[in-house]
Structure 1
Amino acid sequence: MLVGSPKEIKNHEYRVGLTPESACELVAHGHQVIIESGAGEGISASDDDYRAQGAEIVDTAAEVFERADMIVKVKEPQAGERAMLREGQILYTYLHLAPDAEQTRDLIKSKAVCIAYETVTDAHGGLPLLKPMSQVAGRMSIQAGASALEKAHGGRGVLLGGVPGVMPGKVVIIGGGVVGFNAAQMAVGLGGHVTIMDRNPEVLERVGTHFENRASTRFSSKANLAEAIAEADLVIGAVLIPGAAAPKLITRDMLKTMSPGAVLVDVAIDQGGCFETSHATTHADPTYVVDGIVHYAVANMPGAVARTSTYALNNVTLPHALRIARLGWKEALRRDPHLAAGLNVWDGHITCAPVAEALDLPHVPVEQALA
């Protein structure tokens, strides 16, 4: 199979779909790899690095899209990229379709085979291709939030860890999954006063056991959430419903109970955000203020640490890419129901039920696509 990776074009996105080492693996298994010139610059991988591993360098993204049987990316295709997709071509990347009707319509129109990293599952009920980026985003959320709390950046002027004689900042993390757990690790490490909220008693028990007296846990009822938010200096939105739009857990009215200059970091923004006042921002202009509360809602947080993120992502995406390239997408998905869960769009149809429900569009079961 001919596998191609174009240069990412989303604002301040420096990751790349294939590292030189991943290209080497594909070539070693008998496949062809084409890379757009400059695609690896953000991870300090030159065109010559790719050539040394047997990949071909091409001048434009158009050539990658025209020639490749499978496109391997990181972020969802932008409008110009979607226009280059063709019927039957495999697109293997993050998609986050539930809050993005325009992208979904374009992918339906293309009749491409669109496999989304974020809905591929594993035998334990996890999301293995989302996990490494959730780990990165969770850890970055505390860095970003701590910076936004500085007075010069519009925040309250609070140091998360405090100093002797001065109380540390209060951090509330909504969601105890991968993002929330990694955010808590960073916040605890900085010395913050950390509360982790979730609705799943097993999650609360797990994180409570891990952090012991270094962080508190609290059931995420509406009343408890409202009380915790009112006292917080920094709130991390770390909720996820796989494939679906994120629930709006913090309303605009709740902002009025918070201290001016408090910070909200919405890690769920890829799925539409879990704060009512959230809208996607970029690394170029990451924050905005609503009712005195600083919002950080960058939709590709891991792109800022591109080398770490790209290698972590390739570690989990490459095995599936090799399987798809060897067997073809249909046979690969037939043999692996967890990979089949990643199929979001096929032949002009939505095959991911949460996406169809979120956008009020017809749904065709994955089984029909594989028949």
Structure 2
Amino acid sequence: MEIGVPKETKDREFRVGLSPSSVRVLGENGHAVFVETGAGEGAGFSDREYADAGAIVVASAKEAWDREMVVKVKEPLAAEYDFLAKDRVLFTYLHLAADRPLTERAIASGVTAIAYETVELPDKRLPLLTPMSIIAGRLAIQFGAHFLERQQGGRGLLLGGVPGVRPATVVILGGGIVGTEAARMAVGMGARVQILDINLDRLAYLETLFGSRVELLYSEPMQIEAVVPHADLLVGAVLVPGRRAPVLVNRSLVKQMHPGSVIVDVAVDQGGCVETLKTTSHTKPTYVEEGVVHYGVPNMPGAVPATATQALNNSTLPYVLKLASGGIAAIDDDPALAKGVNIYKHQLVHRAVQEVFPDL
């Protein structure tokens, strides 16, 4: 099969769909990979490395897109919509529930769109979302600590405090992969940490990880209203696979937070769980609303592309190989991959996304 790897076009998105090592594996299995020139530079991979691995380096995005399968990192932007075409498989993060224009255009194009974030194993794990969730969770604390600095518009707090001065309070909404990794980082930096989740089994598991170092709370409206106003750093870590994230924090609650507090909503690519949160970018990552610093970059792992590309490829390559070898028929033999299919033959086929757009 011919596989295309275009350069990402999202603001400061330096990850790349396939690394040179993945290209080599695909080539050894009889597949041809066409990589747009410069696609891997931001992640530290030169055109020469791709060529040495067996890739054909092409001069334009069109040449990379004009293949049987396209492997990307982020969803196509408007400038790429014309590349969506019938008899082409697109394998990437899509997050369609938060992007009606892309959903409509993909349906009309006839492209087969398979989303990393909805590939789901029988035990409900999301193997292609997990590596980026780990990175995003850790970055949420790294960025949150940075924007708490006074020069960045924050309260001027050191996350871990110092002897004689209290540490900052970190409230994490959601105890999944993102929330767990955020808690690891926050605890390691010495912050006071609270995690809220609706799954009691998950809270029990988190107790085995953190013991008394983290306060574990059941997530319900009154509890959220009690803890959010005291958060110096609020992390949105809510995930409902394929669906928009529920809004758990409304504007009136944000108003009650201390001026200069920080909100980092990792759920922004699924619509966000904070009412006042708007999508931002790596170029302009924050804005202030109701006196609170808001961070809403949807492609957070793009800040560490060398790590993120390798971590993503470790998970995606087996699925890319299956699709390259068997074509779309590969979904018949792999139920997890079948759940990744969002759009097929001009139809929206993923149930969770259908519920968001019942008219499509």
- Name the TM-score, length of structure 2 as normaliser: 0.99
- The C-alpha deviation readout for 1:185-220, integer Å capped at 9, x for no partner, is 000000000001101000110111210121110011
Aligned position for 1:120? 119
Distance in 2, Cα, partners of 1:321 & 1:156: 45
1:16 matched to which residue of 2? 16
Which of the residues 344, 349, 358 maps onto 1:351?
349
Q: Find out whether 1:93 has 2:92 as its counterpart.
A: yes
Distance in 2 between residues matched to 1:361 and 1:322, nearest whole Å: 34
Q: Which moved more, 1:133-142 or 1:79-88?
A: 79-88
Runs of 4+ residues deviating >6 angstroms: none
How far apart, in 2, do the equivalents of 1:273 and 1:307 lie?
A: 26
AA matched with 1:246: A
Match of 1:365 in 2: none
Residue matched to 2:358: 360
Q: Does 1:305 align with 2:304?
A: yes
- Number of equivalenced pairs: 360
Q: Which residue of 1 aligns with 2:291?
A: 292
Tell me what 1:195 maps to: 194
Q: Distance in 2 between matches of 1:233 and 1:360?
A: 39
Aligned AA (2:117): E
Q: Distance in 2 between the 1:262 and 1:359 partners?
A: 35
* CA-atom RMSD in angstroms: 0.8
Residue 124 of structure 1: how far off its partner (Å): 1.8
Q: Which amino acid aligns with 1:70?
A: M
Counterparts of 2:258 and 2:78, CA distance in 1: 40
The alignment's TM-score, normalised by the length of structure 1, stands at 0.96
> Is residue 173 of structure 2 the alignment partner of residue 207 of structure 1?
no
Partner of 2:178: 179
Residue 294 of structure 1 aligns to a residue whose secondary structure is: strand
State the match for 2:334 in structure 1: 336
**% identity of equivalent residues:** 49
Q: Deviation at 1:80?
A: 1.9
1:327 has 2:354 as partner:
no
Question: How does 1:214-293 map onto structure 2 within 5 Å?
Answer: 214-293=213-292
Matched residue type, 2:164: G
- The 2-side partners of 1:305 and 1:340 are apart by 30
Q: Deviations over 1:56-100 (max 9, x none)?
A: 00000011112x100000000111212112102000000000011
Aligned to 1:58: 58
Q: Secondary structure at the match of 2:96?
A: coil
Could you tell me which amino acid in structure 2 is paired with residue 197 of structure 1? L
After superposition, residues 32-111 of structure 1 pair within 5 angstroms as: 32-66=32-66, 68-111=67-110
User: 1:130 maps to what in 2?
Assistant: 129
CA deviation after TM superposition for structure 1 residue 258, in Å: 1.1
Name the SS for the 2:228 alignment partner: helix
Letter in 1 for 2:74: K
- Give the unaligned 5+ runs of structure 1: 363-371
Q: Find the residue that maps to 2:76 and give its secondary structure.
A: coil
**In the aligned structure 1, how far is the partner of 2:51 from the partner of 2:132?**
27
Q: CA deviation at 1:256?
A: 1.9
Deviation, 1:359, is 2.2
Counterpart secondary structure, 1:317: helix
Residue deviations 1:142-162 (CA, integer Å, cap 9, x gap): 011111111111111111100
Larger deviation, residues 77-86 vs 282-291: 77-86
Paired residue type of 2:358: D
AA aligned opposite 1:226: E
Q: Offset of 1:328 from its aligned partner? A: 1.0
Match of 2:143 in 1: 144
Map of 1:367 onto structure 2: none
Whole-Å separation in 1 of the counterparts to 2:89 and 2:325: 13
- The one-letter code matched in structure 1 to 2:69 is M
Distance 1:116 1:361 in 2: 21
Give the superposition deviation at 1:356. 1.5
**For 1:277-312, what per-residue CA distance to the aligned partner results, in whole angstroms no more than 9, with x for missing partners?**
111100110001111011001010000100100000
| Counterpart secondary structure, 2:304 | helix
3-state SS of paired residue (1:144) = helix
Tell me the distance in 2 between the aligned counterparts of 1:257 and 1:31.
57
How far residue 44 of structure 1 moved from its aligned partner, in angstroms, is: 1.1
Q: Determine helix, strand or coil for the equivalent of 1:167.
A: coil
**Secondary structure of the corresponding residue to residue 83 of structure 1:** helix
